[in-house]
Structure 1
C-alpha cells in the first residue's frame, strides 16, 4: 500500500496543522503542493470542496478537515504523547479550545487581517475582537510552559498557525503588547526544527508531478 496523498498549500494555517502532525507522528505521505488558482483535477475528483489540506488514501477514503488529519496521524503514532493519553479529560478540553479557536478567534482574525490589508479604519475594532482569545491563552501560559502543561500537546500545534498569523498582522504592536507568555510560547515553537521542516518550500506538483515524500522517520 502506498502512502496517502496530502494536497497542501504551505502557508495555509490549516495545512500547517496537518504537516506538523504528520511530522510529529512520523507518518509518511506523498505531498502534492498546489496553488488555489490552479487546483489539480485529481483533487477535484475526490473532494467537491477543493480545500486544503486534503488527505487521500488508496482505498478512496478522504479526510478533509485539518483537525481530523491531526487526529488520524496521532492515532497511528504519538511518540511525544501529544494526546495526553493518561489524562482522561485532556482530549475533550483540548478539542474545546481548538473549537473556540476555529469558530470564534479565526473569524475575528480574518476580519482583522482584511482590515489591515485594506487600511480599514476599523482595524483596531477587529483587533479588540481577537484580544479575548489571546488573553485567555496568556492566562493559561502563565500557569505552565505550554497550553496544557509543561510539554507541548495537540492543542499547542493546532493553535500555533493561527496565533502566528495574528502576530504578523501588526508585528510591532504584537511585540509591544502585554502578552509576554504568548510571545515566549511562540518563540519556543520557532526554535524547534520541526517548525522549519513543516514550512520548507517544495516544488508545485502540477509543474512536474514528481513524487515528493514528506514525513517519516
Structure 2
C-alpha cells in the first residue's frame, strides 16, 4: 500500500493543523516540507493552486484543504476521540467553529499582524476585533478544559495554530490580556509532546531526497 505524501510548511498554520491531526490519528505519511519560493512541480501538478497543505493519497485522490485532511486522518483512526463520536450532534458545531475561525478570526488576525509589523495606528482596533472573537472561547474554557468540553476535540487542534500566531504578535500585551483560560489552554498544548513532534524542523524537500517518514513511525 502506497504511503500518502504530505506537502507541508513548518510555520504555516493550515499545514500545522494537518500535521497535528495526522499525529493524533496515528497515521503515517511521507513529509515534504517545501520552499514556497520554489514550489515543487510534483505538488503543482496535483494541486495547481500552489498552497499547503496538500495530501497525495497515492490512489489518484488528492486532498488540498487542511480541514479535509484533518477529517480524513481522524476518520481512519481517532484514538483520542477528537471527533466526539459519542455525540453526533457536536460535529456540525465543531465545523461551524472552525469555519468562523477561518473567516472571521483569521481575517482580523491578518490585519492585526500586518498593523503590528508596519506600526499601523489601527493595531489596537484589529486586536480588539480578534479579542471579540476570542472571548466566547475564553468563556468556554472557564467552564471546561477544552473548547467543546472536558476532552480535546477537532476544534482545539484546528484553531490552535492561529491562537499561537495571535499570542506572538505582541507578547507583552498577551501576557497580561484578560484571557487567562486561553493562555492556560495554549500552554497545555505546548507542553504536549505531540505538539513538539508536529513542529520538528525538517530540511526543505527537493526531488530525489530521501523520504522523511512522519506520524505513526
Matched, 1:92 2:92: yes
1:214: which partner in 2?
A: 214
Aligned-pair distance for 1:88? Answer: 2.2
Q: When the two structures are aligned, how many residues end up with a matched partner?
A: 217
For residue 206 of structure 1, give the secondary structure of its aligned residue in structure 2.
coil
Tell me how far apart the structure 2 counterparts of residues 162 and 207 of structure 1 sit (CA, whole Å). Answer: 31
The TM-score normalised by the length of structure 2 is: 0.98
Aligned-pair distance for 1:202? Answer: 0.8
1:3: which partner in 2?
A: 3
Unaligned stretches of 5+ residues in structure 1 = none
Matched, 1:157 2:157: yes
Unaligned stretches of 5+ residues in structure 2 = none
- What's the Cα RMSD here? 1.0
For residue 142 of structure 2, give the secondary structure of its aligned residue in structure 1.
helix
Tell me how far apart the structure 1 counterparts of residues 195 and 81 of structure 2 sit (CA, whole Å). Answer: 18
Tell me how far apart the structure 2 counterparts of residues 60 and 25 of structure 1 sit (CA, whole Å). Answer: 22
1:126: which partner in 2?
A: 126
For residue 83 of structure 2, give the secondary structure of its aligned residue in structure 1.
coil
The structure where helix makes up a greater share of residues is: 1
Matches within 5 A, 1:160-179: 160-179=160-179
Is 2:35–2:205's contact at 8 Å kept on the other side of the alignment?
no
Aligned-pair distance for 1:116? Answer: 0.6
1:32: which partner in 2?
A: 32
Tell me how far apart the structure 2 counterparts of residues 200 and 18 of structure 1 sit (CA, whole Å). Answer: 14
Stretch of structure 1 that moved more, 192-201 or 83-92: 83-92
2:73: which partner in 1?
A: 73
Matches within 5 A, 1:33-48: 33-48=33-48
